[in-house]
């Protein structure tokens, strides 16, 4: 029996591949966020002209900053979930595929936000952006539902307390992102500020 | 003898690298699908204007959705094949290289589909799209032909039943994608709906 | 206890993933530098016309060259740091996340430099470019501060001399990049030449 | 002593990372080749219009095909070299960095070729393209020179015959690519046909 043959019937190996593939998508998606940022070729008539053009890109810098942090935290959350999963069945595969499909789209709401910030279309862009992260949270919640529905798919030594803590964390993510979406209806800037507050929470949570 | 020297004469290691490289291409190709989606900078005169522009992107959302699922299933199928392959000879390398060359092109039929959906050029775009996936199926069939032509290239414990099951799965893929291409000549929407039906089949197959 | 379960409580594994993810971002960012380089579709009226257009791209070639080397050295420096880190706490994670966020932006100052070289806006572009690498250095300095503040986060056998050597290297990076930024205020070309001199230093340092 | 600490003083591990990083760049560069291919949004007035526009993309299909094979063979050659290298010193690192810098540029000559094929600027584009692959060959030759100059950097069990075979393969690559560049001065199409002939050679060589 060689190394490759061992894969047949070894679900752990398959989980490692799903994680590596997911990591790759996180990686490419997060790096593609940056390619939207740039000045037009016409803004090189003088140093002042270029400096002004660079300054006017602030909505794109801000959108990049917000999305990079969000995707980075999503990546940390993804590992957090998969560290608790021992083997992936069809349902988990589909839920993870759905999550990756939504996540790879992140350059779209990000560039829309960078485009509309400071324009009359700001509220719509923030609704798209915050709604997008509600969809991301739903995918995480679904993935954890798929994983936790049978205890045999979780790692062996996991305690009931650890399972409940993860469930609570996913619920908090979904509820807080939904709240931020509702706040965006009232005040787009307040919604972005609330996102920032949630980062502190997730980072403190570790 | 150190770790690297062991590579000389160790075909398994080489297969691992081919798989990692293939995974990387699947990863980048699938994530690049998203960069086509975006609104023009002119659609920010009002919230309604941006909302309407976002709504009019539905063909791009649909094309992204369809292609993401197709590439994800192709990735699952790629692992499925390589789990049965013990060592890669020249023929397998070429067949896999051909498959990757076709697969990395996926943003091209996808954006053509997203462009032409809802226009008078829809049928041509669907023919390109469905024809493209016939080409993908041909590559998979060729790869499996290359792998299964000598039993010594397959993993040791593999049974005749497993080999035949894989052959049947690859044949079904090729036949169903060819059928979808023929249906696209009659009715493009029906062809896309059939693709959807095939996903259910592949997912149920695991 | 299986492989995945072992991850719980194994900080090494988590560091390996952070490194792999960081490597992925370095990889994609460095490769995306090249997509900016190309001639307009109109320059194909004759062989001379295309040759002239290719020649006029020299600022983009130079910007690509400079940034590729800088990111490559940054990648070497990143490994150098992580080879000394045993386990990542929250502070290290945040510092590394900040570093990746800044680093993934590298196509932006690079294309601005390629755009403005040889124009009246050159000085502003060089200030952006050199200022950008001061920001990169600050992130490295912060990451090493986060890692070295508690000896228990460093690898076990590390000596006081090795820690001090790394601290000195990060300080030299920050000071030299800041000096290059100041020089850019006086003479943009001299600043780029100094970058080149620093490469020799870093490469000689190994 | 833990896993990470072992890295200090373990050159093998460092080679594995260089290979993984190089693979990542090959991967992203080869996949980015595809994003240039697409039709203009205006070609959707009828099925015939789109079909004609798709047909007129043949120079881009051909350029993609030629470059994909070239990069794939370069990737195989890269592994071939690194399988013989035990440890990387500064010279090898620099030579490999140079190789990656040149290789990541591959979308540039590829899209120039796709743009100029069938136009009066074809010869210039082929000179750029074939000249580019001479540069790639030079980097490979330099990398192998760096690796083979001290026997202690090669894997332990390697024979004099294997070293000479690799030297010969690198020399043949450099000479054949230089010849193709010279032929391009006389006849661009013949040069592309010769590239094709060399693929057969390399694939047969395995």
CB contact (8 A) between residue C203 and residue D111: no
- The answer to whether C104 touches C29, Cβ cutoff 8 Å, is yes
Q: Which value, in Å, is the radius of gyration of the alpha carbons in chain D?
A: 20
Q: What is the pLDDT of residue B204?
A: 78
Contact A12 C4 (CB under 8 A): yes
Nearest chain A Cα distance for residue C7, angstroms: 7
Q: Which residues of B touch A32 (CB under 8 A)?
A: 31-32, 34-35
What residues of D are in contact with residue B22 (Cβ under 8 Å)? none
Contact B199, B173 (CB under 8 A): no
ipTM over 0.90: no
Domain count, chain D: 1
Query: What pLDDT score was predicted for residue D197?
Result: 86
Between D90, D107, D115, which is nearest C203 by CB? D90
Distance from CA of D81 to the nearest CA of B (A): 11
Residue A3 included in any domain: no
Average pLDDT over residues C47-55: 95
Would you state the pLDDT for residue B156?
83
The closest alpha carbon to A54, from C130, C184, B38, C127, belongs to C127
Q: To the nearest whole number, what is the mean pLDDT of chain C?
A: 88
Which residues does chain D have within 8 Å of residue C206's beta carbon, measured at their own beta carbons?
A: 90
Question: Cα separations (Å) of B87 from A36, A79, B26?
Answer: 42, 32, 21
Number of B:D CB contacts under 8 A?
A: 115
pLDDT band at A141 (very low <50, low <70, confident <90, very high): very high
C49: chain D residues, CB-CB within 8 Å: 121
- Is the pLDDT confidence value at A50 over 70? yes
Q: Do D34 and B7 touch (CB under 8 A)?
A: no
A-proximal residues of B, 88-147, CB under 8 Å: none
Q: Is residue D2 part of a domain?
A: no
C7 falls in which pLDDT band (50, 70, 90)? very low
Q: How confident is the model at residue C155 (pLDDT cuts 50, 70, 90)?
A: confident
Candidate from A119-133, A143-157, D99-113 with smallest mean pLDDT: A143-157
Concatenated DSSP letters of A46-98: SHHHHHHHHHTTHHHHHHHHHHHHHHHHHHHHHHHHHTTB----HHHHHHHHH
pLDDT of residue C197: 86
Whole-angstrom distance, CA of residue B135 vs CA of residue D90: 45
pLDDT score of C204: 78
Q: Which residues of B touch A123 (CB under 8 A)?
A: 47
Q: Does D133 fall in a domain?
A: yes
Q: What is the pLDDT of residues B43-79, one digit of tens each?
A: 999 999 999 999 999 999 999 999 999 999 999 899 8
Using the beta-carbon criterion (under 8 Å), do A120 and B68 form an inter-chain contact? no
The span from the CA of A73 to the CA of C49, in Å, is 49
Residue of chain B whose alpha carbon sits nearest to that of A31: B31
- At residue B206 the predicted structure's pLDDT band, cuts being 50, 70 and 90, is low
- Interface contact flag, A2 B155, Cβ < 8 Å: yes
Do residues D126 and D192 lie in contact, with contact meaning Cβ atoms separated by under 8 Å? yes
Contact between chains at D68 and B2 (C-beta distance less than 8 A) = no
Buried b (16+ CB within 10 A) or exposed e, D12-35: bbbbebbbbbbbbbbbbbbbbbbb
**Rounded-to-10 torsion of CA D89, D91, D93, D94:** 160
Of D24, D35, D156, the CB nearest to B5: D156
Taking an 8 Å cut-off on Cβ atoms, the answer to whether A31 and C35 are in contact is: no
| pLDDT at position D58 | 95
Shortest distance, CA B103 to any CA of chain A (angstroms): 16
Q: Does residue D5 sit within a domain? A: no
> How high is the pLDDT of residue B55?
95
Could you tell me which of B141, B187, B135 has the C-alpha nearest to residue B166? B141
Judge whether residue D11 has pLDDT over 50: no
Q: How many contacts does A have with C, using Cβ atoms within 8 A? A: 114
Predicted pLDDT at A8 = 37
CB-CB under 8 Å, C35 with D104: no
- The model's pLDDT over C63-82, given as tens digits with 9 standing for 90+, comes to 999 999 999 999 989 988 99
The answer to the question of residue C78 being in a domain is: yes
d(CA B172, CA B169): 5
B6 is a domain residue: no
What is residue B80's predicted lDDT score, i.e. its pLDDT?
86
- Assess whether pLDDT exceeds 90 at residue A197: no
| Mean pLDDT of the C88-104 span | 92
Per-range mean pLDDT, top range of A2-6, A48-52, D40-44: A48-52
- Give chain D's end-to-end CA distance (angstroms, integer): 41
Q: Which tens digit of pLDDT belongs to each residue from D76-104?
A: 899 889 989 988 888 898 999 999 999 99
Residue D83 and residue B4: Cβ atoms within 8 Å?
yes
Pick from C30, C111, C112: nearest CA to D103: C30
- Enter the tokens of residue D142: 């330099």
Mean of pLDDT over chain D = 88
Of D4, A74, A156, B20, which is closest to residue C13 (Cα–Cα)?
A: D4
Chain B interface includes A1 (CB < 8 A)? yes
What's the pLDDT at D206? 60
Q: Is residue B148 included in any domain, yes or no?
A: yes
What is the DSSP code (8-state) at residue B85?
B
- The answer to which of A66-75, A82-91, C26-35, D167-176 has the lowest mean pLDDT is A82-91
Of the pLDDT bands very low, low, confident and very high (cuts 50, 70, 90), residue C11 is very low
Query: Touching check for D169 and chain B: CB below 8 Å?
Result: no
Question: What's the rounded Cα separation, in Å, for the pair D20 and B79?
Answer: 20
Quick one: which H or E segment has residue D187? none
Kindly state whether B20 is in contact with chain D, defined as any CB-CB distance less than 8 angstroms: yes
pLDDT at D29 over 60: yes
Q: Cα(B174)–Cα(C75) distance, rounded to whole angstroms?
A: 44
**Residues D139-185 pLDDT 10s:** 999 999 999 998 888 888 888 898 999 999 999 999 999 999 999 99
- Closest-CA distance, A157 to chain B, in angstroms, reads 27
**Range with the lowest mean pLDDT among B60-69, B74-83, B169-178, C100-109?**
B74-83
Q: Which of C12, C14, C21, C126 to mutate against chain A (most A CBs within 10 Å)?
A: C21
Of D24, D34, D206, the CB nearest to B107: D34
B31 touches chain D (CB under 8 A): no
pLDDT at C206: 60
Residue B74 belongs to a domain: yes
Q: Which of A113-117, B168-172, B187-191, B193-197 has the weakest average pLDDT?
A: B193-197
| B 71-90 → A contacts, CB under 8 A | 72, 75-76, 79, 82-83, 85-86
pLDDT at A74 over 60: yes
- Name the CA dihedral angle for B131, B137, B138, B140, rounded to a multiple of 10 degrees: 150
Give the chain C residue nearest D91 (alpha carbons). Answer: C203
The answer to whether A38 contacts C108, with C-beta atoms less than 8 Å apart, is: yes
**D181 shares contact with chain C (CB less than 8 Å):** no
CB contact under 8 A, D104 and C27: no
pLDDT above 80: residue B10: no
Q: Which residue of C has its CA nearest to D32?
A: C35
Burial of C103 per CB tally in 10 Å (0-12, 13-18, 19+): buried
The mean of the pLDDT values for chain B is 88
pLDDT at D17: 84
How close D111 comes to chain C (CA, Å)?
7
Return the pLDDT at B4: 31
Residues from chain A that touch B83, judged by Cβ atoms under 8 A, are: 4, 7-8
Give the residue-averaged pLDDT of C106-121.
95
A124-128, B75-79, C135-139, D137-141: the lowest-pLDDT one: B75-79
pLDDT of A178 reads 96
Average pLDDT for residues C86-92, to the nearest whole number?
Answer: 87
What residues make up the domain containing A41?
Answer: 12-205
More confidently predicted of C14 and D103: D103
């Amino acid at each position: 029996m060689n190394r490759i043959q061992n894969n047949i019937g070894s679900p752990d190996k398959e989980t490692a591949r799903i994680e590596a593939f997911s990591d790759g998508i996180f990686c490419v998606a997060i790096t593609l966020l940056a390619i939207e940022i740039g000045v037009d070729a016409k803004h090189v008539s003088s140093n002042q002209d270029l400096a002004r053009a660079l300054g006017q890109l602030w909505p794109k810098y801000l959108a990049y900053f917000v999305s990079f942090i969000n995707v980075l935290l999503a990546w940390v959350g993804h590992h957090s979930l998969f560290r608790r999963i021992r083997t992936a069945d069809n349902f988990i595969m589909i839920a993870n595929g759905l999550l990756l499909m939504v996540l790879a789209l992140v350059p779209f709401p990000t560039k829309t936000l960078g485009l509309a910030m400071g324009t009359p279309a700001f509220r719509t862009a923030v609704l798209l952006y915050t709604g997008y992260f509600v969809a991301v949270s739903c995918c995480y919640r679904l993935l954890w539902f798929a994983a936790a529905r049978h205890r045999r798919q979780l790692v062996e030594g996991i305690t009931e307390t650890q399972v409940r803590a993860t469930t609570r964390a996913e619920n908090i993510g979904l509820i807080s992102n939904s709240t931020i979406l509702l706040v965006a209806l009232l005040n787009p800037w307040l919604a972005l500020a609330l996102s920032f507050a949630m980062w502190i929470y997730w980072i403190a949570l570790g």
